[in-house]
């Protein structure tokens, strides 16, 4: 009796574990594909946005050149102008 149940249940258990493993692998890959940092820019002394800073697109504190101080960072728009607000990267 026990071996008969074991023979009938085992294939379903293996299939369930395989499906769960596939979903886990897919979700791990999508999380690792996210970029934690995105290049943003601060203005130089001439008013040009050409000083790179690592920022994030996720809403939060304003991204600045030196942590919590320094020049405010912006993302470039399609015309290359620095006018889109950048945010400080969140620590995982």
Token reading at 8: 């009938």
pLDDT of residue 3: 72
CB atoms within 10 A of CB 86: 24
pTM of the model: 0.55
pLDDT of residue 47: 81
pLDDT of residue 90: 78
pLDDT of residue 35: 58
Cα distances (angstroms) measured from residue 2 to each of 7, 8, 11, 13: 9, 10, 15, 16
Token reading at 80: 């290359």
Tens digit of pLDDT at every position of the chain (92 positions): 667 766 776 776 666 666 666 666 655 554 544 556 888 988 888 888 888 999 988 888 999 988 888 889 999 888 888 888 899 887 65
């Amino acid at each position: 009796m026990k071996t008969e149940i074991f023979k009938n249940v085992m294939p379903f258990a293996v299939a369930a574990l395989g499906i769960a493993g596939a979903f886990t692998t897919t979700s791990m890959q999508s999380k690792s594909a996210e970029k934690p940092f995105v290049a943003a820019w601060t203005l130089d002394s001439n008013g040009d946005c050409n000083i790179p800073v690592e920022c994030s697109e996720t809403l939060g504190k304003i991204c600045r050149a030196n942590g919590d101080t320094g020049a405010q960072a912006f993302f470039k728009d399609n015309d290359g102008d620095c006018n889109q607000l950048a945010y400080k990267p969140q620590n995982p």
